[in-house]
Amino acid sequence: DTGVSQNPRHKITKRGQNVTFRCDPISEHNRLYWYRQTLGQGPEFLTYFQNEAQLEKSRLLSDRFSAERPKGSFSTLEIQRTEQGDSAMYLCASSLPGPPNYGYTFGSGTRLTVV
Amino acid sequence: GNSVTQMEGPVTLSEEAFLTINCTYTATGYPSLFWYVQYPGEGLQLLLKATKADDKGSNKGFEATYRKETTSFHLEKGSVQVSDSAVYFCALTSSGAGSYQLTFGKGTKLSVIP
């Protein structure tokens, strides 16, 4: 297992189009997280899954955003009707069960540019 | 709510210089504290952590001590190398509900010149 994998690495899309990103976590990790990182800022929490259940969503996750983890393995993050403000790095992370101070493993991210 | 404040960058140091990156936090309860590092084109990597007051986290020559009285977790390294050039993020998770969420600072970019 080579860590958390995210695809694509880069995505350029026109405003108004839909985009979907994929995250493959470390296989034994049952927790999966999505974060968004804009230029010059730290990552901000978007949502969290434990197995296939989406247990928490941030207020940042507007109605245009939807995340799924249908079989408790990989996850997808879809953005509908993209806006220029959606341009950011979307980071996925996964972790084992247990206290959060065990730390997470992050993927390299998907950089979205909306033109 | 939780928040993390880091010193503004960028920070430019000569090789073998001493590094300090300041981090202070606001959180309820007893948070766990982390430093993450992001090298160019890569994801975030956990550098070190501390889970209770007066704990010292250390890794790769970097150290940080959890100071509850000053709500701080400053990152230090005695002698930086060119390979330490990266963006460093201070972060925390709270001890209560929602403790799986990491709250990050804005990051501090470090450039080390030979």
Residue B1 has pLDDT above 90, yes or no: no
Which of A48, A91, A95 lies at the smallest CB-CB distance from B43? Answer: A91
Q: How many CB atoms lie within 10 A of CB A28?
A: 9
What is the per-residue pLDDT across B74-106, written as a single tens digit (0 to 9) for each? 999 999 999 999 999 999 987 665 567 889 999
What is the per-residue pLDDT across A47-87, written as a single tens digit (0 to 9) for each? 999 999 999 899 888 899 999 999 889 999 999 999 999 99
What is the per-residue pLDDT across B17-76, written as a single tens digit (0 to 9) for each? 999 999 999 998 889 999 999 998 888 999 999 998 999 999 999 999 999 999 999 999
A56 touches B at CB < 8 Å: yes
Contact pairs from chain A to chain B, CB under 8 Å: 61
- At residue B57, the 3 state secondary structure works out as strand
CB contact under 8 Å between B44 and A91, yes or no, is yes
CB contact under 8 Å between A108 and B103, yes or no, is no
